Amino acid sequence: MEIIKVLFVCMGNICRSPTAEAVFRACAENAGLSGQILVDSAGTHDYHIGDPPDIRAQRAAMQRGYDMGALRGRQVETADFIRFDYVLAMDRGNLAILQRLRPGDAAGHLGLFLEFAHRHSQREVPDPYYGGADSFERVLDMVEDAAEGLLQHIRQQALFSVSPGGANGTSQKK
């Protein structure tokens, strides 16, 4: 059974992309697809390699049931474009960097994460780093929306179908 691999990317990999990683991982688990979807995150810059997510992002996520404590920042690598089926940027600035880094033989989807959102028309996840707690809540709202849309898209593209016992982790690919 093929595993779908998704990489979320922001600038430093301590706010937006680890939030997306945690939320999307939970969505996949809740859909019974944790064994079929691999999720990771990275930054375009090397500012926070090895650092845990921003404590404010962790706090906001934990209030909604997402645990980001084990995540650590890393920088995107050229091999990520080959390894991942979806490389999703949080904003256009990081998308432009990714487009320059992407090797010519990369066949996966490269785009903005919020392309998959249904309830938010904005296409960039704003960086909450210099904002208050409400900025992190807004990011979570946007990320949850896009995560649901991405999961729906992947299910349609990969033809995943969750069996009636899907909540216990059983699923099958058609």
pLDDT by residue (tens digit) across 46-105?
999 999 999 999 999 999 999 999 999 999 999 999 999 999 999 999 999 999 999 999
Residue 128 near residue 12, CB atoms below 8 Å: no
Contact 144, 60 (CB under 8 A): no
Catalytic residue among 10, 54, 85, 155: 10
Model pLDDT, residue 160? 56
Is 127 an active-site residue?
yes
Point out the catalytic residue in the list 25, 54, 127, 155: 127
Known catalytic residue: 105? no
* 3 state SS of 167: helix
Clarify whether 15 is annotated catalytic: no
Domain boundaries, the chain: 4-173
Residue 158's pLDDT is what? 74
Question: pLDDT tens for residues 23-37?
Answer: 999 999 999 999 999
Catalytic pick among 15, 16, 40, 80: 16
Question: How far, in Å, CA of 126 to CA of 136, rounded?
Answer: 9
C-alpha count within 13 angstroms, C-beta hemisphere, residue 61: 27
| Residue 77 C-alpha from the chain's centroid | 16
Give residue-wise pLDDT tens across range 34-53: 999 999 999 999 999 999 99
pLDDT in tens, 106-159: 999 999 999 999 999 999 999 999 999 999 999 999 999 999 999 999 999 875
CA distance 127 to 45: 14
Residue 169 confidence (pLDDT) above 90: no
How far apart CA 171 and CA 174 sit, in angstroms, is: 10
Under 8 Å between Cβ of 68 and 61: yes
Task: Give CATH superfamily name and number for 4-173.
Answer: Response regulator (3.40.50.2300)
